[in-house]
Amino acid sequence: MTEGYIKFNCNWLKEEFPFQEEMFRQLETARTKLYALGLIGMYPDGIGFGNISVKSGQSASFIITGSATGQFEKLDQSHYAMVTEYDFEKNSIYCSGMTKASAESLTHASIYQSLPEVGSVVHVHNLWLWEKLLNDYPTTSAEIEYGTPEMAYAVGKLASEINEKIIVMGGHREGILAFGSNLTEATTEIIKIYNRYQND
């Protein structure tokens, strides 16, 4: 466990939040595709990986799959959290829902803050794809650990400077981010890259 994870502060209000049924269905449809490809899931040691998020209206809030949900093929609304505030410097978030949001939320937040036109962010894990994309696509420094404010800042800076919608997390083995104006675009972006390199 890194120092970044230890310092992460999740201010969690355990209560339901307004969650439109249509938004839930869209999230589940997108997540199911990623889960089927093994881009979201759980390692043999029981550690889950992968997150998908979507902006909630015009505010800074966003809905994200909750902590430790990678193990489940299908989620229900209680497995999602709404992040309402975040502070990169303090490595903290405020969220509500029946499941707490994880430290991964700050990386999603950094992209939303850097690019207001982005409506959805996907964070997946895949070792062979990560190795193929590493340094060929915009990549954060290998010195920057995941779960730290430094990673959030680095991702946000990269997102604002590049034309691509893919970021490789150099210091987070297997970690890849994709984003787009909406859920469909973000999901399609990572699946397109996955299929292209799988057939190489």
What whole-number distance in Å separates Cα of residue 107 and Cα of residue 150?
A: 10
pTM of the predicted model as reported, rounded to 2 decimal places: 0.93
pLDDT at position 59 is 79
CATH number of the domain that residue 72 is part of = 3.40.225.10
Domain interval for residue 84: 3-198
Q: What is the largest CA-CA distance in the chain?
A: 47
Q: Number of structural domains, the chain?
A: 1
Averaged over 9-38, what is the pLDDT?
95
Q: What pLDDT, in 10s, does the model give residues 138-179?
A: 999 999 988 888 999 999 999 999 989 999 999 999 999 999
The pLDDT of residue 63 is above 50 = yes
Q: What is the pLDDT of residue 102?
A: 84
Please say whether the beta carbons of 105 and 93 come within 8 A: yes
**Cα(180)–Cα(185) distance, integer angstroms:** 5
97-108 tens-digit pLDDT: 999 998 789 999
- Give residue 2's pLDDT: 42
pLDDT above 70 as % of the chain: 96
